[in-house]
Every structure is written in C-alpha cells, then in structure tokens.
Amino acid sequence: MARTRNIIVECDVCGFEYRRTSMKLNSYGMLVCPKDYEGQYDLKNHPQNKTPILRKSNFIRDVRPENNNDRNILWEGATTNWEDTDNYWNTIWQLWQVKLLLILIKTYYK
Ligand SMILES: [Zn+2]
C-alpha cells in the first residue's frame, strides 16, 4: 500500500507530475502544482468579479444638477416655458436672415 506522502500526481493545468503533498485545489476544484496555483484569488473568486453591494447610504440626497456651463445658461436662468425659448430662437433666426440678406446684397452689387 502506497503512503500518502509519496504519491505522484499530475497537475491539471500544466500536466507535470508533482508530489501530492505539494498540490493544492484551486476554486475550480482542479488539483494544481504550486506554480499554477494562483494564490488566494483566481479568475473565479477574485473580488473584482463580484458585483458591488449598493446600499442607500451610497446615494447623495437632494442632488442638484451642475451649473450647465455647456449650455451657456445658468440653472436659475433655465426655463421650461416654450415661449421664452421661442423668442430666443426667433432672435437667432432674425439675425441669420439679416446676415443672409447682407451676403446677397454684397454678391449682387459686386
Ligand atoms: Zn502545474
């Protein structure tokens, strides 16, 4: 009968033979040699593979949006009235029409 110490076992990853006492089971249940043993964490049980625990304490209460610098208006100046934005776009449209008229006049009287 063979003693447990001297049993030679094949590594499940690399295929080389090692003493059974130096082999370890990884989280997949594979018997691996010390070189192939990935330590405390491997691909399966690494903490980065687990989803984070989100609790309500992680959320900030009563959040306000940023100051909308990309829209060139402040939060206080932002409006939900369609008429206000309509006047804004009408002004832009009128300025564009004047500019187009000037371009046409310049090209006509060359
Ligand atoms: Zn190995």
Domain-embedded: residue 65: no
Give how many domains the chain has, as a whole number: 1
CA of 3 to the centre of ligand 1 (A): 22
> What is the whole-number distance in angstroms between the Cα of residue 24 and the centre of ligand 1?
10
Q: Distance between CA atoms of 85 and 71, rounded to whole angstroms? A: 13
The per-residue pLDDT string of the chain (110 residues; one tens digit each, 9 = 90 and over) reads 566 668 999 999 999 999 999 999 988 889 999 999 988 887 777 888 888 887 777 677 888 877 666 667 777 777 777 776 777 788 888 999 999 999 999 998 87
| Residue 33 Cα to ligand 1 middle (Å) | 4
Structural domain includes residue 32: yes
- CB within 8 Å of 64: residues ≥ 6 apart: 75
How many angstroms separate the alpha carbon of residue 50 from the centre of ligand 1? 27
d(CA 27, CA 30): 7
Cα–Cα distance, 98 to 37 (Å, whole number): 76
- Tell me which residue range forms the domain holding 37: 1-49
**Single pTM value for the model:** 0.39
**Residue 8 forms beta bridges with which residues?**
19
Q: Ligand 1 centroid to 37 CA: how many Å?
A: 8
CA angle 70/75/77 to nearest 5° reads: 100
